Amino acid sequence: MFDELTIWVRQRLVAIKDCVRELLRRQVRDAGASFRVTKNRLAKRALTGTPFEPLSPLFTGPTAIAFSSDPVAAAKVVVGYANRNDKLTIIGGGLAGRQMDAAEVRELASLPSLDELRGKLIGLLQAPAARLARVLQAPAGQIARVLAAHAESEGESSA
């Protein structure tokens, strides 16, 4: 769990109703990430010996974590939810063993997801091939139009 992107959020557990928290969990799950309310003592113990060990001080008060293997998926969902609900506060995160503050997590959420980047890359790779195919087809089409025009003019002059 702590070897992936992890975002720490502070939530007011009493203030967030179960149905609202379940909606957040569902949105996070749909994005391919996970969301867990943590027991701080157990989380600090789990961080021991991992690259995220310096993040242990973030585990105070009611804390939850969102994590995913896609560096942007969890950030997008949690930041979007935090913008709509003031009872959820982003307190930081970690990526590749590096601590991130709330502003960096919000900046990460503004980046395109892995799937969007893959789509853009495929589009960039396909564009030159499609352009080349159009260029190669153009001379043949022009020759066919010239021959058709010539045939029409020959047909009119002989008639």
Q: How confident is the model at residue 13 (pLDDT cuts 50, 70, 90)?
A: very low
* pLDDT attached to residue 9: 62
Q: What is the mean pLDDT of the chain?
A: 78
Alpha carbon distances (Å) from 99 to 13, 76, 86, 141: 24, 18, 23, 59
**Can you give the pLDDT at residue 159?**
57
Q: Model confidence at 153, in pLDDT bands (50, 70, 90)? A: confident
* pLDDT tens digits for range 19-49: 667 788 888 888 888 888 888 899 889 888 8
| Better-scored residue on pLDDT, 145 or 12 | 145
State the pTM of this model: 0.63
